[in-house]
Structure 1
Amino acid sequence: MIKYHKTTLLHLALLCILATSCKQQLHYQYQGGYEQIDGQAIPDPETQTFVNPYKEEMEAEMNQVIGESSISLTKGQGESLLGNFVTNIQKEFAEETYGYQVDISLMNNGGMRNELPEGAITLGHIYELSPFDNYLVILELQAADVKNLAEFIARRKNMAIQGLSVVGLEDELLSFQINGKEVMENQTYLLVINDYLANGGDDMEFLAGLPKKEDSNILLRDMLINMIKKKTGKGEKLYAQIEGRQIHN
């Protein structure tokens, strides 16, 4: 069962209290400017007293260790250790949750906002890695859709993939396979992805409108947290390696 975290409630509470009003405003005008703040600025004691308990609770939760990585999981252009780890765990989660095989797992490099260090992995690390409220989606792809995806990956070189292998020369696609096999016409392939990309984000308009087999309310961040905790409970450390999923010449 997915466990959702209460941390965002603290964010909302602070925003509502510090903002002028949380009520909907139909007409709003603002005039103002910027004041330079330097090291001589003194925090308002009353505000600081109010914020401190929330800050301390937030820091305690974010510093909670949820796992351990045997290596630094770094990202970069094309295939990366972090990208392979995230797409691996995303595919594993989807198959465990829905009970059927998923052919391709995909994540955009821009959606991974920070790397994971070697050693202790905290809840804060995962919030830094996945700060956006992106939800898991499973799309149904036909052969032509898979080719569009492979061409995009070969051209942009900014995606992490699992299940789909791509070979490109400069910006052109040379070959692609799914799980070591040629893509077959008249066969449906399942792609697990986040809703931002599924709806055409990052110039992936060719995905928008494709049939959704699953349109979940599961946050990518919560999926990562729960899968890492599960692996930790089994005594496993986080790990990934470069496998030649993408070859860009």
Structure 2
Amino acid sequence: MYRSFSHLLLITCFLIISACKTAIITTSVNTANIEVTNNISPTDSQLIKIYLPYKEALDKDMSRVISTSENEMVKEKPESNLTNFLADLLLEEGKFVVQQQGLNIHPAVSYFNYGGIRTPLPRGPITVGKIYELMPFDNELVFVQITGKQLAGFFNGIAAKGGDAIGGARFVISKKRAKNITIDGTPINDNSNYWVVTNDYIAGGGDGMEVFKTNTGYVDSGLKIRDLIINYLEKKQQKGEILSTGKDGRISYE
């Protein structure tokens, strides 16, 4: 009886103490950037000595020049030299990947989402770091097949937003709708199927692109688009080619 009473007393005291505890609520969080330098203090010298070689190697790679641009490339609507360049690159590399991987598909259109283009590319030398700034995401290149009717609806959505980054197609914006749509110079056919080269985020319905979720075919290349851009620019540089891009009227207003 005494032991039971003691246990009851202890439990009661515990509940009272628990109930009296002051609740801690986080009302704000302060953040700050801490710069890592070559100054090594005795307390963290071992950690920094391990880290610095990797940091130096990364800095060296990020500053590596992989191309040279004749002009500054910026994104604008309905089209721009940067959006056209990226969309055309995506389509070209997509066709190359199809051959390389032996895929039985025929990419006709490319879409490089406008919101995923984060910075301009400068005139003059372009470094690896600039490509990471341009596209900081690890999106992969994918192929999505949709019908001509779906593709026309997709272009209507682009027209309503005032333009975007597309390759392989042309159309005129009239009253926020796409008209005179052509794919590789041929009028779009509602009953045909078209393979679109884009990224896995968009193919999954990102940015409201629900049309790609109701596809009739899907292939993931397993390749990161950022890596493809870097490799593409390196190949151009090895050939001594300077980037020269511009507008070509692929999206225009009536």
| Category of TM-score, reference length = shorter chain | 0.7 to 0.9
C-alpha contact 1:115 1:129 (8 A) present in aligned 2:
yes
1:72 equivalent in structure 2 = 72
**Is 1:127 aligned to residue 132 of structure 2?**
yes
**Is 1:102 aligned to residue 124 of structure 2?**
no
**Amino acid in the other structure paired with 2:115:** G
Number of equivalent positions? 219
Against the structure 1 CA distance between its residues 118 and 187, is the aligned structure 2 distance closer, same or farther, given a 3 Å change threshold? same
* Offset of residue 108 of structure 1: 1.1
**Is 1:92 aligned to residue 100 of structure 2?**
no
* Offset of residue 37 of structure 1: 6.2
**Is 1:212 aligned to residue 217 of structure 2?**
yes
1:150 equivalent in structure 2 = 155
Query: For 1:146-225, what aligned pairs fall within 5 Å after superposition?
Result: 146-225=151-230
1:234 equivalent in structure 2 = 239
1:82 equivalent in structure 2 = 82
Compare the two structures and name the one with the higher helix fraction.
Answer: 2
Q: TM-score, normalised by structure 1?
A: 0.78
* Offset of residue 67 of structure 1: 1.2
**Amino acid in the other structure paired with 1:55:** K
Against the structure 1 CA distance between its residues 69 and 175, is the aligned structure 2 distance closer, same or farther, given a 3 Å change threshold? same
C-alpha contact 2:149 2:189 (8 A) present in aligned 1:
no
Secondary structure, aligned partner of 2:207: coil
* Offset of residue 185 of structure 1: 3.9
Cα distance per residue 1:18-55 (max 9 Å; x no partner) = xxxxxxxxxxx9958445869xxxx9945584554443
Cα distance per residue 1:123-181 (max 9 Å; x no partner) = 10111111101111111121111111110110112520111112112423333111222
* Offset of residue 101 of structure 1: 4.0
1:115 equivalent in structure 2 = 120
* Offset of residue 64 of structure 1: 0.7
**Identity, % of aligned positions:** 32
CA-atom RMSD in angstroms: 2.7
* Offset of residue 186 of structure 1: 3.2
Q: TM-score, normalised by structure 2?
A: 0.77
1:55 equivalent in structure 2 = 55
* Offset of residue 96 of structure 1: 1.5
C-alpha contact 2:152 2:190 (8 A) present in aligned 1:
no
- CA distance in 2 between counterparts of 1:101 and 1:240 reads 25
C-alpha contact 1:199 1:209 (8 A) present in aligned 2:
no
Secondary structure, aligned partner of 1:133: coil
C-alpha contact 2:152 2:178 (8 A) present in aligned 1:
no
Against the structure 1 CA distance between its residues 184 and 221, is the aligned structure 2 distance closer, same or farther, given a 3 Å change threshold? same
1:8 equivalent in structure 2 = none
**Amino acid in the other structure paired with 1:80:** S
Structure with the greater alpha carbon radius of gyration: 2
Against the structure 1 CA distance between its residues 189 and 118, is the aligned structure 2 distance closer, same or farther, given a 3 Å change threshold? same
- CA distance in 2 between counterparts of 1:161 and 1:107 reads 6
Against the structure 1 CA distance between its residues 163 and 55, is the aligned structure 2 distance closer, same or farther, given a 3 Å change threshold? same
C-alpha contact 1:69 1:118 (8 A) present in aligned 2:
yes
- CA distance in 2 between counterparts of 1:36 and 1:140 reads 44
Secondary structure, aligned partner of 2:220: strand
Runs (5+) with no aligned partner, structure 2: 1-23, 34-38, 100-104
C-alpha contact 1:94 1:102 (8 A) present in aligned 2:
yes
1:24 equivalent in structure 2 = none
- CA distance in 2 between counterparts of 1:53 and 1:130 reads 25
Against the structure 1 CA distance between its residues 47 and 96, is the aligned structure 2 distance closer, same or farther, given a 3 Å change threshold? same
- CA distance in 1 between counterparts of 2:121 and 2:114 reads 14
**Amino acid in the other structure paired with 1:216:** S
